Amino acid sequence: MKRYSIYSALIALCVAGGMSSCVEDEGSGIVTDINKITISGIESQYDCTSYFDTLRIAPTLTFSLDNIPEDKLEYSWFFCYTPDATTGHKHEKISSNRNLEYKMDVAPGSYSLHLQVKDKNTGIKYEASSLVNAGSRFVRGFYLYGDKPDGLVGMDFVSMPAGKDTMVINDIFTNSAQIKGAKDLIFTGHRDNGFNALWAVTNDGQYPVEYSARLEHVDVIPDKTFDSNIYSTLSTVQRPFHLANICPGTWGPQCISLSGNARQRVIITENEIFVCNMSLSEAYGNPINRDNTNTEVLFKPYPVAFYSGALSSVSYVCFFDMTNHCFKKPAHKVLSSATKCAKPTSDSESPFYFDQNNYTPVRQIVYGENGYGNDGRSYALMTDSDGNYYVYSFTAPTAYASDPIKHYARKIDLSVATDFAKASHYAFFSNQMIILYSVGNVLYAYDYNRNDVKSIDMGAEITYLAMEHQSSLTPTDFVVATYSNSEKGIVRKYSIADNVNSIEITPHAREVWKTGLKVVRVLWKYSNY
């Protein structure tokens, strides 16, 4: 119990040796012992979850003399908080019962709880108080993003409060704009600053979404557009913009991807690459996906900025030019100050060319991602007009003075990798030479070093597949989402063994989440904002 206090304007306490508390009856001059009440059974602190838990407290009363009948006692529970700077302190009575049952329908934060017990015979009030920490269900967990059966975009949240059970919170997206056609969900930012951003991307646009952990439901932010922060003067810029990616994305349990001095952000649209320094303002100038500052000709970027996923912050990146079939990097020592891109300073066939025009037929990128194992290597899946496929492994540059570091190139054996060219999703296991891919209901794991393949029939269409190192900082985890008309959406987490001799896939029995959505994105979030 945190503290006690006794209120009375009519009493005087008499303490002499082992004497009890007493009060003098002014009319008769008789000194009467006070039947003092002691309150126990209230903890010094309670940790609850906002909009979910019910706070239940059954206090115990003890009396210095005889028991006082219940009808001679009056109870008052008060909940005390400061909602914001404008409304100030608020002291709200929430119950008149002895035992408290209070639904925590309050915003996350710290509150004080007070119980006053009044002795109706004497008018004396006795008090006990406690601290109540109301945590959010939306600080830590996964967004599940996709389409509902009626085609409207929906969002669930797999809530993972620290020290509490995981729960799936359904239908957290109000979707007052009635947007349809879920394509991607992009969250980026820092755990404890205001640089966060959450964008719901659809087939025909992108919509800013509330991401505050203090909200029970989120919706599209009105009167905010993606275009409003871009101040390009080039006639080749294609408005309206169609968002493809934001770099850096979420990273690890603390989402610290915007840490460091520069706090740089890279925006990739279907046709442009924009950069800025968030410490100054979120304002983007002319796109940098061009070969010199005197031209308005833009190359089409692959929508991934390659960087080391093993680093705590992003200082430099590289891109793939889909127009000219070449890896390129920003042409300035400071990423956010770049105005153009350039080819790496040197190139050779060992183990692969940066410039894919050196191959006949020319190779084009099919898929790329940033890994976490092997010191944060990146991966690119390439193909050519003959139908061949190749895997490139490299480490993205950390400074303008350095080029990407090449590690290996491997050709996919299509006679072993069943239906590889038909795959709808790919994912690279960065600790081993293994690529995951899906075709319809079937999940494949192909070891392109040992030329071995393993398959799992998921029993329903695979709608999403990706490695998942952000939540647990392990390169071995991946996520698969499936959908069927009968069971709707199911999201499952797996581990793949770091074993050079075999392909071993293990399901996480306790990480299976059901949803009504046809999931197209599973996105980690850890942010107090």
Q: How many CA atoms lie within 13 A of 296 on its CB side?
A: 7
Cβ contacts of 206 within 8 Å, gap of 6 or more: 199, 200, 226, 241, 242, 243
Nearest to residue 470, comparing CAs of 137, 159, 140? 140
Cβ contacts of 138 within 8 Å, gap of 6 or more: 157, 159, 169, 172, 212, 213, 215, 525
The continuous run of DSSP H or E covering 376 comes out as helix 373-376
- Asked if residue 412 lies in contact with residue 373, where contact means CB atoms within 8 angstroms, the answer is no
Report the alpha-carbon distance of residue 220 to residue 215 in Å, rounded: 13
At 91 the pLDDT is: 82
Q: Burial, 232: exposed, middle or buried (Cβ in 10 Å; 0-12, 13-18, 19+)?
A: middle
Report the alpha-carbon distance of residue 6 to residue 8 in Å, rounded: 7
Backbone angles phi, psi at 357, to 5 degrees: -70, -15
Q: If the chain, 529 residues long, is cut into consecutive pieces of 10 residues, what is the mean pLDDT of each piece?
A: 38 32 51 86 94 94 95 96 60 95 91 96 95 90 96 96 89 97 87 74 95 90 90 95 88 50 82 90 94 96 91 86 98 94 95 98 97 93 98 94 95 98 98 98 98 98 95 92 97 97 97 98 84
Q: What is the pTM of this model?
A: 0.85
At 15 the pLDDT is: 30
Question: What is the CA 513 to chain-centroid distance, rounded?
Answer: 16
At 499 the pLDDT is: 96
Cβ contacts of 213 within 8 Å, gap of 6 or more: 108, 136, 138, 139, 527, 528, 529
- Asked if residue 236 lies in contact with residue 273, where contact means CB atoms within 8 angstroms, the answer is no
At 9 the pLDDT is: 33
At 51 the pLDDT is: 87
At 398 the pLDDT is: 86
At 249 the pLDDT is: 76
